[in-house]
Amino acid sequence: MVISEWLRARGEGADEGNKGVLSLARVENRFYTAILVIILACMPLVNVSIDTIQFDRSRSEQCQYSIPNPTDTGWETSFSTLNGKSATVPVWWLFVHAMSKAATAASVAAIPCGVDLQQVRMEVNKARIKDPLLAQEVADFTNDCYARARAKLFMTQPTLSNDQLNDVNWIGSHFFLQTSGYYSDGFSGFRSHTPRTRWPYDATRDAGLPQTTGGGGFPICTQWWSDGTVGLRARLLEQVSPDLLSKLAQWAKFMTPNEVNDSVIRDLVSPRKQKLTQGQVYTDYGGQVGGSVANDVTRLTATVGQAFGSVAMYPA
């Protein structure tokens, strides 16, 4: 530092005055600056108290996460020295640490709470149709609408995309709802076969069908499924906790709200859920709901016939 300032002063012109006094003043300035830097950034001056760990639980409580207290960890035993020496820190680095801590805390506070996917999955698996009448109506819709639509689909064998192939595997299929000739074709039998009081009798829609004393009509499948707040879809959605739907919508931002709701309803009306909820109310897509003795005899006769046919065709 001294040599640098001496060479700098010597290389300047004669108009700078006394070179010795000038270089000395410059050396003093740089020396004081270096002393200040050493004091602030290098000399440990501030004692660091490590007797108590400062633990902030506010953010974990906001996000409903349980984090153990320091007393429940291996840091329960407090100490104030490290190998017999106290911890000290320079003033500058204490300031940098405080600013970094503040910036980190602000950043963490700005991060939204994540969705506990494990908890959401458990809530989805726990969701059931609590109303037995609604569960029976799902079974009726399966027999009157979905089974017929599947049968027609197999007979006509239209060309379907991969998304449509997955879509036609549940009763609320958009393909069946939006394609003419399926759920919207009431004159082909795609309607409720028993009167529904939520849909009053309509002489035009229900032409040829009996008008009951209760005033109930025979809605077509599209109307039965998606008619405002009385439709089967809306009433099934009421069986799901609004908090669960909110969590799913918050996580599945790549899906529209209707897609999220359809996914939940699809799981709710799945045969597995119906079997766990109501027993034999809704066994499978296309299966016999509430089978009778005649059904059992028919199955037994068919099994025996197949056995004799196999023996005749392939004798031992």
**pLDDT over 60 at 57, yes or no:** yes
Hey, what are 37's tokens? 């830097």
Q: Does some domain include residue 63?
A: no
Contact 249, 222 (CB under 8 A): no
Q: Does some domain include residue 204?
A: yes
What DSSP line would sit under the chain, residue for residue? -HHHHHHHHHTS-GGG--HHHHHHHHHHHHHHHHHHHIIIIIS--EEPP-SS-----HHHHHTT-----GGGSTT-S--S-BTTB--EE-HHHHHHHHHHHHHHHHHHHHSPPPP-HHHHHHHHHH-----HHHHHHHHHHIIIIIHHHHHHHHHH-----HHHHHHTTSTT-HHHHHSTTSTT-GGGT-B-SS-EEEEE--TTTTTTS---TT-EE--BHHHHHHSTTTSHHHHHHTTS-HHHHHHHHHH-TTS-HHHHHHHHHHHHTSHHHHHHHHTTSS-STTSPTT--HHHHHHHHHHHHHHHHHHHHHS--
* C-alpha dist (Å) from residue 87 to 48, 83, 94: 5, 10, 12
Q: Does some domain include residue 310?
A: no
Residues 98 and 152 grouped into a single domain: no
Residue 62 sits at φ, ψ, to 5 deg, of: -60, -40
For 197, the domain range is 117-291
Residues 99 and 130 grouped into a single domain: no
Residues 98 and 126 grouped into a single domain: no
User: Mean pLDDT of all residues in the chain?
Assistant: 80
Contact 191, 218 (CB under 8 A): yes
Residues 257 and 171: their CA atoms lie apart, in Å, by 19
**pLDDT over 50 at 285, yes or no:** no
Q: Total structural domains in the chain?
A: 2
The larger pLDDT score, comparing residue 172 to residue 76, is at 172
Range from 1-5, 122-126, 277-281 carrying the lowest mean pLDDT: 277-281
Reported as a single tens digit per residue, the pLDDT across 121-160 is 888 888 888 899 999 999 999 999 999 999 999 999 999 9
Residue 28: pLDDT band (50, 70, 90) is confident
Residues 176 and 15: their CA atoms lie apart, in Å, by 98
Q: Does some domain include residue 73?
A: no
Residues 279 and 179 grouped into a single domain: yes
Residues 144 and 279 grouped into a single domain: yes
**pLDDT over 90 at 29, yes or no:** no
* Percentage of residues in the chain having pLDDT higher than 90: 34
Q: Where does residue 73 rank: exposed (0-12), middle (13-18), buried (19+ CB within 10 A)?
A: exposed
Q: Where does residue 208 rank: exposed (0-12), middle (13-18), buried (19+ CB within 10 A)?
A: exposed
Reported as a single tens digit per residue, the pLDDT across 184-223 is 998 888 999 999 999 999 989 988 888 888 889 999 999 9
Residues 205 and 261 grouped into a single domain: yes
The larger pLDDT score, comparing residue 72 to residue 147, is at 147
pTM assigned to the model? 0.58
Would you state the pLDDT for residue 221? Answer: 95
Would you state the pLDDT for residue 314? Answer: 52
* Residue 249 CB neighbour total at 10 angstroms: 16
Would you state the pLDDT for residue 24? Answer: 76
132-141 vs 271-278: helix crossing angle, rounded to 10: 140
**pLDDT over 70 at 276, yes or no:** no
Hey, what are 114's tokens? 């994540």
Residues 20 and 85 grouped into a single domain: yes
Residues 88 and 142 grouped into a single domain: no
Q: Does some domain include residue 12?
A: yes
Give mean pLDDT, residues 302-312: 66
Residues 283 and 139 grouped into a single domain: yes
Contact 89, 44 (CB under 8 A): yes
Would you state the pLDDT for residue 15? Answer: 57
Q: Does some domain include residue 88?
A: yes
Q: Does some domain include residue 128?
A: yes
The larger pLDDT score, comparing residue 8 to residue 78, is at 8
Give mean pLDDT, residues 71-77: 62
Residues 197 and 282 grouped into a single domain: yes
Residues 196 and 88 grouped into a single domain: no
Q: Where does residue 61 rank: exposed (0-12), middle (13-18), buried (19+ CB within 10 A)?
A: exposed
Name residue 47's beta-bridge partners.
88
Q: Does some domain include residue 142?
A: yes
Residues 267 and 146 grouped into a single domain: yes
Contact 142, 289 (CB under 8 A): yes
Would you state the pLDDT for residue 287? Answer: 45
Apex 163 CA angle, 237 and 119, nearest 5: 45
